[in-house]
Structure 1
């Protein structure tokens, strides 16, 4: 067995350019709902917003950057997004 040095990447808060990627079912208003939820918890830089659909159009990925202030904030964003029922993954 080979031992390697596994470094954990520690996030230093506040983080002014924290990326969030949300993957969910393609539907009318999906992007607006994601933005609405994230803006409840954080300052969002809408200039960084990117939207992409999967090759078959079933899923949509929304990527944006926020000002992250702490772990609890990130947990709250993740929880509320996943509670929509249309979000499958938050990265």
Structure 2
């Protein structure tokens, strides 16, 4: 019997800060309330957010939407705070 191949341990890629064009995707309930909440959180944590680059896509049945932002990530603390604030809303389903 051949020896089993062990998968190499994979580490998360290292991000060098500041990191321009860092994508953040937020998925939640469809509606302008959720959009406005997400934009306000992003602006608070990533001043200078370019709103012309925000992409909003509805799910097939229109119940959910994903919003993609591109920010300049300044550090791990910024990204953790951003994630926590986005998750604080019950309309938020996922943050990537």
Task: Specify if TM > 0.5.
Answer: yes
Q: Which residue of 1 aligns with 2:6?
A: 3
Give the SS at the match of 1:84: coil
Q: Which residue of 2 aligns with 1:17?
A: 21
Q: Which runs of 5+ in 1 are unaligned?
A: none
Higher share of residues assigned strand: 1
Q: Do residues 42 (structure 1) and 46 (structure 2) align?
A: yes
**Deviation for aligned residue 1:3:** 3.1
Which segment drifts farther, 7-16 or 33-42? 7-16
Q: Do residues 64 (structure 1) and 83 (structure 2) align?
A: no
| Superposed structure 1 runs of 4+ greater than 4 Å apart | none
Aligned partner (choices 66, 76, 83) of residue 81 of structure 2: 76
Q: Do residues 55 (structure 1) and 69 (structure 2) align?
A: no
TM-score, normalised relative to structure 1: 0.90
Q: Which residue of 1 aligns with 2:95?
A: 90
Q: Do residues 31 (structure 1) and 41 (structure 2) align?
A: no
